Structure 1
Amino acid sequence: MGLLDSLLEWATGSGGGASCESCSQSFAQMWAAYSERPGPPPPGDEAYAPRTEPLPVTVPQPPGERLVAIGDIHGDYHKAERALRLAGLMDEGGRWAGGRTVAVQVGDILDRGDHEIRILILLERLAAEARAAGGQFYLLNGNHETMNVMGDHRYATPGANVEVAGWSVWRDFCALMKGRSGCPRPQGAADPLEERRAAAAAASSSPQALAMARARPYNWIRGRAMAPGGELSRRFFASRSTVLQVGGNLFVHGGVLPAHVEYGLQRINDEAQAWLLGRAGGTDGAYGSAAHATPLFLRGASAVVWARAFSASDERRCECDTLEEVLKALPGAQRMVVGHTIQTRGINSACSDRVVRVDVGMSAGCGDGAVEAMEVLPDGKVLRLREHAPATPVGPAPPRHHRPTSAQQHGKEVAAAAGAAAGAAAGGSAAAGSAAAA
């Protein structure tokens, strides 16, 4: 029986009066799946549950299969679609077309564009379709995901805030429908409507929160959804790695430094996931106070999502010796692939091709650069894919004259991260610390 048939049966049951008793569990499960996924669920589809299994650092690259990487997207749905098609990952109908390809998106879906939720849902669905086809689509978290979870929403557009608010309203409606249909709430989950009332009550007593709400009325909804343990963090971010090695390719948003290797890359993935789930500091509840403590390896200019040690446009300013030390310390690692710092001359390599930089600022809100992707062929050759141009081998960027470096373009973000960390350490909110740094 289909979803609409079950809904009609429920609505007309018991002599025309709807009742919880007349609703079958099959409908409850179908509704749970329907409310979390685009389109009706296929027959036998199970209700959506966030994937919170451990995130391995190292995964194999299937022999004979291609590997693809896509850089920062920043809320630009149309550029995201074009990049996915350029890389051969999505067909014209919006479905996975990569077969057994392994793909990695290096983070920074959020901020600077209006279509964050739309992109998150698209990538989530494509990742599921990739697994079903024998491929993989790995999604990493970047510094902008980290900033938003910390409470720094300064780069969120008004359109994105409205999108998040609309999604939250839909989630509330779905929660009510699930309750009406007898679908039990997951153990330990709070009532979304009660959470909204609690957040509104807390905001009413905070002059700072009131000022923020007057300036950007959807920020409190966004903040609640993206806080550690929030509905967006649990669903979309907690299932993503911070660092991932696929075969000989080490993927990270900013850069892996020797201190990160010494700390332990698996430990970084585990502790970042615990923070996103709201379980950091031993707190296993949705919004426990200790759960908001951002791990140190995610804060500051040398953080794994913020580092730019290998991204300078002038290769002489890249810390190639440090890069070599990191790669030699990780078994099998041949190169690092990073995003985060815009490469205005396109995807390129540095340090004797030991690092590939894939953030080309493609989002209309962050450079509006050309659509590009990186491909590693089965024979190990690394290619730069570019719209309306033939694929070319990745190599050093050509010289550039009298143009600001990408690090200068992003200097304010580094200052914001430092301010957020200082504000949190001083006992204030991350958002307050970031605002002070502006």
Structure 2
Amino acid sequence: MKLKKITLYLFLPIFVYLGIGALLLNYEVIQRLYIFPGWSIKHGATDEDDSTVSSDGPIILYENGKIIKYQIIPSGNKFSLVKGEITKKDTLNCYVDETKDTFRFKLKDSLKNEQSEYILPEKMLVISDIEGNFNGFKSILIGNNIIDKNFKWTFGKNHLVLVGDFFDRNLNVTECLWLTYKLEDEAERQGGKVHFILGNHEMMNLKGQTKYLRDKYQENSDTLKLDYQNWYAKNAELGRWLRTKNGVEKIGSFLFVHAGISKDFPKKYTIEEINQQIRNGIDKVFAGSEQANDIFIGKESPVWYRGISTEKETQKDVDETLLNYKADKMIIGHTIVDEIKYLYKQKVIDIDLEHKANSDKGKMFALWYEKGDFYTTDNRGTRTKLK
């Protein structure tokens, strides 16, 4: 009898853990249930994924007055783990496993919230939903002379506009973010600008919602003994940097927003107020369905709304939204389309494409603006006027 009680006491917590874990997994409250360290069960709806530990980082955290670098770097046929204290003066290396490239950068001296409105430059390259696809990102930037082969800014006083969703789906998210971070400083020194606009996947990862996270990142976080949520926390350099970004920006008379601004979005808010509320939503704790219903980061918000891309609104609806912000056009990503195209009598440009499928075939496409006209451009710099 004693043996039965001891066995019950030993195994009951395990059964409770597995039972509750299975329930949470079924309802997608969690995306994986750990059975043993390094071994877990994923939610059935998660995409097939055989990615595992590979190079990553640097991940930079501010801890107890120190700057700590975590990194996984290639070492022969294996990988080495790096953890150590650095200073702002140090040059950091970012190795890209996908393309075997390395680029270098330094940490910014300071960070501040981005402006919400900018003067229109002579030229812009606009792209959305890179989703960790470094090879495609690199090819469109080099092909259009935004950067050179050494990853240095060559676009002068012009602007690069990145319309959200650099996270999830592919395997070089960290590297795409650091390249953007690096190019920001270089562009500003030449009088240019890199705009990074928050999308729904940025919001999810910043809030610790990892439904679409590839296994590589879970494996890397286990290997580094650094929980993935800490990679983008308020004391992480990339987390601090992303918390300065906007959800909506106006460049000249053009509105740039990841998903779209709904006809039902309250018109009383200025662009600056929308951005402040989106940033506030990153670290706000929501109960139940509050987040899904939140007008700034919920399912009908500028970072999630699909009604414009799917043309559920009327021409009048879109016209009135643009008029409210004194804008001529809205440029959106988020919802995949077959080609970059005008919607609503050229009042909207939809730019989200199947970038990974295209780049695997040696192709990439983005939106190009020059002297009043919009074009589709490819990774060879060939441009076709948008009609």
For structure 1, the 5+ residue unaligned runs are 1-28, 170-195, 197-220, 282-288, 396-438
- Residues 1:335 and 2:329 are matched in the alignment: yes
Alignment of 1:254-273 (within 5 A): 254-258=259-263, 259-273=265-279
Letter in 2 for 1:98: F
Paired position in structure 1 for 2:305: 307
Checking the alignment, whether the CA contact within 8 Å between 1:86 and 1:373 is kept in structure 2 is: no
- 1: CA distance, partners of 2:103 / 2:146: 23
Paired position in structure 2 for 1:32: 88
- Residues 1:251 and 2:311 are matched in the alignment: no
Checking the alignment, whether the CA contact within 8 Å between 1:116 and 1:160 is kept in structure 2 is: no
Paired position in structure 1 for 2:370: 377
- 2: CA distance, partners of 1:158 / 1:119: 18
Deviations along 1:306-337, one digit per CA (max 9) or x if unpaired, are 1112212xx5x454322111111112x11000
Checking the alignment, whether the CA contact within 8 Å between 2:164 and 2:196 is kept in structure 1 is: yes
Letter in 1 for 2:331: V
Counterparts in 2 of 1:260 and 1:56: CA distance versus 1, 3 Å: farther
Shift of 1:124: 0.6
Deviations along 1:46-90, one digit per CA (max 9) or x if unpaired, are x63451x2332211114xx11221121011111110121233211
SS at match of 1:122: helix
* Residue of structure 1 aligned with 2:108, choices 48, 52, 71: 48
Counterparts in 2 of 1:98 and 1:164: CA distance versus 1, 3 Å: farther
Deviations along 1:211-247, one digit per CA (max 9) or x if unpaired, are xxxxxxxxxx1123335x2526633311211100000
Checking the alignment, whether the CA contact within 8 Å between 2:262 and 2:308 is kept in structure 1 is: no
Alignment of 1:277-426 (within 5 A): 278=283, 296-312=294-310, 317-331=312-326, 333-344=327-338, 346-364=339-357, 370-378=363-371, 380-387=372-379, 390-395=382-387
Checking the alignment, whether the CA contact within 8 Å between 2:200 and 2:304 is kept in structure 1 is: yes
Letter in 2 for 1:296: D
Checking the alignment, whether the CA contact within 8 Å between 1:244 and 1:252 is kept in structure 2 is: yes
**Cα RMSD after superposing both structures:** 3.3
Query: Greater helix percent: which structure?
Result: 1
Give the TM-score, by structure 1 length.
Answer: 0.60
* Residue of structure 2 aligned with 1:57, choices 104, 116, 123: 116
SS at match of 1:297: coil
Shift of 1:368: 7.8
Aligned sequence identity (%) = 23
Checking the alignment, whether the CA contact within 8 Å between 1:348 and 1:356 is kept in structure 2 is: yes
Instruction: State the aligned residue count.
Output: 293
SS at match of 1:342: coil
Counterparts in 2 of 1:236 and 1:164: CA distance versus 1, 3 Å: farther
- 2: CA distance, partners of 1:92 / 1:384: 22
- 2: CA distance, partners of 1:37 / 1:275: 32
For structure 2, the 5+ residue unaligned runs are 1-84, 95-101
Checking the alignment, whether the CA contact within 8 Å between 1:143 and 1:306 is kept in structure 2 is: yes
- 1: CA distance, partners of 2:186 / 2:238: 22
Query: Greater strand percent: which structure?
Result: 2
